[in-house]
Chains A and B, each alone.
Chain A
Amino acid sequence: MQMDSIGVGSLPIVALIGAFSGIVMTLQMSRALATYGATSQTGQVVSISIVRELGPVLTALLIAGRNASGIASELGSMKVTEQIDAMRALGTDPIQKLIVPRLLATAFMQPLLTAIADFVGLLGGLLIAVTVIGNTANQYWSSAIDILALNDMVQGLMKPFVFAIVISLVGCFYGMRTSGGTQGVGLSTTKAVVVSSVWVFVIDVLITQIFVSLT
């Protein structure tokens, strides 16, 4: 159920944002590359930007906005209506029942969503590269794929995995600490989105630094 909510539920918006980021990146990069007469390299630049950075980070920000807030508000509502106390009183560990499924679902679904966002982003880039810049589809696609190394793929999938853990834990943390009725739920939701978004950028810098130093 959590996988459906977090994964399938986020798919349309993730795909949409992926497509637009690919389109915008291609338009911007082609302009810069045209200065050097290197528009044929557009695929490479777009591909690396999307797989290493834009795909993981934009997807993470969407998941933070959509799911960290969802988790915090759902658990926060349960907290203020004493459903979590009831759960404990009736013999269930809320960590096992509420937090673990959300953590696992996010950690499993976010890398998949990121891979889809990357692919749709590259398709968006292809559309612009062919219709606006004048590249051939083969030229764009082969340059986009050939430039990607194992390092890029690992980085592009490790980032969303770590982001997912942080986003879900931040959402759960603020949800479970909610107090003060409906106003408290709103506050927890806002904090969950802001804090998890900031952590996405901090972790992005750290992971990028690690991979840069490895190569």
Chain B
Amino acid sequence: MAKPILKFENVSLSYDGKLVLDKINLTVNEGDTFILLGAAGSGKTVLLKLAMSLIQADSGRIELLGHDITHLKETELFGIRTEVGVLFQEGGLFDSQNIADNVSYPLRNQKSLAAPEDEIAARVQESLDFVELGHTLDKFPSELSGGMRRRVGIARANVTNPKISLYDSPTAGLDPITAHTIMSLILKQRELRKTTTVLATHRYQDGSMAANYHWDDAIHDVVRAAPYGSYANLNTTFIVMNEGRIVFSGTQQQLEASRDPYVSQFILHQPPPKLGPSGDQGHQLSA
């Protein structure tokens, strides 16, 4: 049986009297790919930050890598966070540091990851080579394009070989080609390093790619894991969020068959067709 690696139980959070997350329940198992779909302001980023306890929930319980992190102190969280990689929506790169220092930051600042200088340099180089930016060591984030900054963010998130990687809108604001490159690198990380992946995005294409493509190291690109017209799924669960609530949870097939107006509009960019296919429509969680 798959081991739960991240678990939310009835988690709620309010900001300035407004409910941002409402009784969220979800479980991410080891090896899973978890796609959080939702429009801007639906609560995706807040959920990812709660998963690392960067913000505190008002109520409920959050379990990460077997630890109840709901009420842990900041100092107690540092050790747990060493096993989590995170790519922030804005990249979160330190603009006063060059790329090498950015990527080596977790290795230099987390006691449990302390390593000799030559080993740190080798791991930084390997991590940057992984995202095909091995030549940018001495550059500063401001000298790189938006896509390159995201790739450096992926390198930094995964330089510690985390058990779970959280990606917050990794393709937001990027052109389709760069977005494809970023998604390919995320899938490469998922498969070559066996990392559990949680991906928050507003682009359905990203989730579809995660569910149906895998990394082929021989051709150095992603390839479709199932013929066109069928679903590979690849241990992928889709969650759709709307105004702090989970309105759908299920597979891609169930998602595409959903009759929920919000879900359907989100996926198809239009209201649901009047005569849709019958069958399993996933867990319709909305009223």
Contact = CB atoms under 8 A, between A and B. Distances in A.
Interface of A: 80-83, 85-93
Contacts of A91: 78, 81-82, 106, 109-111, 113
A92 B54 CA distance: 12
Contact of B49 (A80, A81, A85, A92): A85
B61 to A, nearest CB: 21
Given A81-B91, A82-B91, A88-B54, 16 more contacts: A80-B90, A81-B90, A81-B92, A82-B89, A83-B92, A83-B95, A86-B88, A86-B94, A88-B81, A89-B54, A90-B81, A91-B78, A91-B82, A91-B106, A91-B109, A93-B74
A85 B74 contact: no
B89 A90 contact: no
B106 A82 contact: no
A87 B81 CA distance: 11
Interface of B: 49, 52, 54, 74-75, 78, 81-82, 84, 86, 88-95, 105-106, 109-111, 113, 156
Contacts of B74: 88, 93
Contacts of B95: 81, 83
A47 B109 CA distance: 49
Given A81-B92, A83-B93, A89 B84 contact: yes
Given A91-B78, A91-B82, A93-B74, A86 B109 contact: no
B109 A92 contact: yes
Contacts of B49: 85
Given A82-B92, A83-B94, A85-B54, A90 B105 contact: yes
A82 B90 contact: yes
B149 to A, nearest CB: 11
B103 to A, nearest CB: 10
27 contacts: A81-B92, A82-B88, A82-B89, A82-B90, A82-B91, A83-B92, A83-B93, A83-B94, A83-B95, A85-B92, A86-B86, A86-B88, A86-B92, A88-B54, A88-B74, A88-B81, A89-B84, A89-B88, A89-B92, A90-B81, A90-B105, A90-B106, A90-B156, A91-B111, A92-B105, A92-B109, A93-B78
A91 B113 CA distance: 10
A89 B109 contact: no
A86 B159 CA distance: 14
A189 B266 CA distance: 39
A81 B92 CA distance: 6
Nearest to B49: A85
A85 B81 contact: no
A85 B106 contact: no
A89 B93 CA distance: 12
A92 B92 CA distance: 14
Contacts of B91: 81-82
A124 B248 CA distance: 74
A89 B90 contact: no
A81 B90 CA distance: 6
Nearest to B85: A89
Contacts of A93: 74-75, 78
Contacts of B94: 83, 86-87
List 8 tightest A-B contacts by C-beta distance, closest first: A86-B92, A91-B110, A82-B88, A82-B92, A90-B106, A91-B78, A82-B90, A92-B109
A117 B151 CA distance: 49
